[in-house]
Structure 1
Amino acid sequence: MGPFGLDRRQREKRIEHSAKGGRNQVLALCSMPSAPCVCILLAIFFLSLISGCGGPMTYIHPTADLTYITTVAVVPLKNLTQDPGAEGKVMNVVAAEILIRGVFDVVEFGEVAKVLREEGFKEKEGEISKSVAERAGKRLNVQAFIVGSVEEYGMSRTGQSSYPEVSLSLRLIDAKSYKILWEATYSEKGTTVLDRLLGIGKKSPSDLCKEVVAEMFDTLFGG
């Protein structure tokens, strides 16, 4: 276990162990002389659990020490979706999650955008260079930047059913050294096999985004 939570290999082992236990229980119940429909329902339920048991793919720098970070700035995220306002929605969720956890202060978006623009940052490119990060970091008095992209945000459709889908990539980079301190990528659908079969459990993209961002930061700060 690293200083900020379970690493990917440990999470995968837990998921694998849970999945094996669930399969064994389903097989034991289905071998009994009970009604076939019970077995079918149990199988559907098990599939719904497996479909939602993934988690963020993460990286934490082996020597990362975040104790020196008091304030961060969220760089305008690169929007790769069909929603022209998706990056702003995700940025609001990211900033809110950081403030709720009380780990860092967050510079107001308007001030960040102004300083970055004056230092030569091109928002359409969605990437901040090392030189811009260093200059802007000094002006904004931040120790790190949060950068990333929004790959999916909105409602997707399969057949006659629709469901929310969110896919994000976030990085925490040191303002001076440009070192990647933490990185997480997470794609999630707001539905399971059982939800789609029964037509229940639908979420909005904004609700799903809050869950995705929270799980991503859990890998850094712990749940």
Structure 2
Amino acid sequence: MNYAIRLLLIAVLLCAGCAKTGHHYTDPAVGLGYIKKIAILPLENFTARKGIEERSRELLTTRILGHGLYEVVEKGELHRFLRDEIRSNEKELIDQRVAKRMAREFNIEAYIAGSVDEFTEVRNGSYTYPEIAISLRMVDIKTGNVVWKASHHANGYSTAGRLFGLTAEDTNSVLFRLIDDLLATLSES
């Protein structure tokens, strides 16, 4: 086989696991520049993996603060507020009345809610890697409208890693990359 074709084939194989998969929506009638401070509600967990929603929420908070996107209400204070305001176990689902009280309490313009939709450990021979999907939405508290929503999927698979016996990306690395991909859609708005 020609040397150039071999190089091209290797490049294609190396990039095969790099594709981003996801969708996003931003309300075309609303710019997000007015939002300065947000609350990040507990995420729902639609997977069998216990604790992945809390880990995802922590990393989401870290990345939002790290990128300087918004100020974020401290988790303990928000937990206290939600415990006092919502009697059910569904703290990630709030109505407009509670949202407006939350806005007054914390001086926020919006909140982020969402879910971890998929978490699996895929085994392919001796090669194991995580697959994770997350959906997030930002809700304007004054109107109750979703002003941004994004869903993305990522995995720790690497063709080169599998071919050369390297370790796959761990769950935290995949989560960081996935959350950065989700947040990148905010800047596209």
Partners of 2:166 and 2:8 lie apart in 1 by 17
SS at match of 2:142: coil
Higher helix residue share: 1
CA contact (8 A) 2:45 2:115 kept: yes
Which residue is 2:149 aligned to? Answer: 183
CA contact (8 A) 1:155 1:205 kept: no
- Cα deviation, residue 115, structure 1: 1.0
Q: Given residue 130 of structure 2, which amino acid in structure 1 is its aligned partner? A: P
Between the aligned residues of both structures, percent identity stands at 30
CA contact (8 A) 1:76 1:123 kept: no
C-alpha change, 1:124 and 1:197, in structure 2 (3 Å) is farther
CA contact (8 A) 2:122 2:131 kept: yes
Q: Given residue 100 of structure 1, which amino acid in structure 2 is its aligned partner? A: G
Q: How does 1:129-144 map to 2 (within 5 A)?
A: 129-144=95-110
Q: Given residue 196 of structure 1, which amino acid in structure 2 is its aligned partner? A: R
Provide TM-score, normalisation by structure 2: 0.87
The C-alpha deviation readout for 1:16-49, integer Å capped at 9, x for no partner, is xxxxxxxxxxxxxx6xxx37xx856743541442
Q: How does 1:60-209 map to 2 (within 5 A)?
A: 60-120=26-86, 122-124=88-90, 126-153=92-119, 155-200=121-166, 202-209=168-175
Superposition RMSD in Å: 2.3
SS at match of 1:142: coil
C-alpha change, 1:187 and 1:81, in structure 2 (3 Å) is same
Q: How does 1:207-222 map to 2 (within 5 A)?
A: 207-222=173-188
Unaligned runs of 5+ in 2: none
Unaligned runs of 5+ in 1: 1-29
Q: Which moved more, 1:191-200 or 1:88-97?
A: 191-200
Higher strand residue share: 2
SS at match of 1:117: helix
Provide TM-score, normalisation by structure 1: 0.75
SS at match of 1:200: coil
The C-alpha deviation readout for 1:155-181, integer Å capped at 9, x for no partner, is 332333201222111111111211111
| Structure number, greater radius of gyration | 1
Larger relative contact order (CA 8 Å, sep ≥ 6):
2
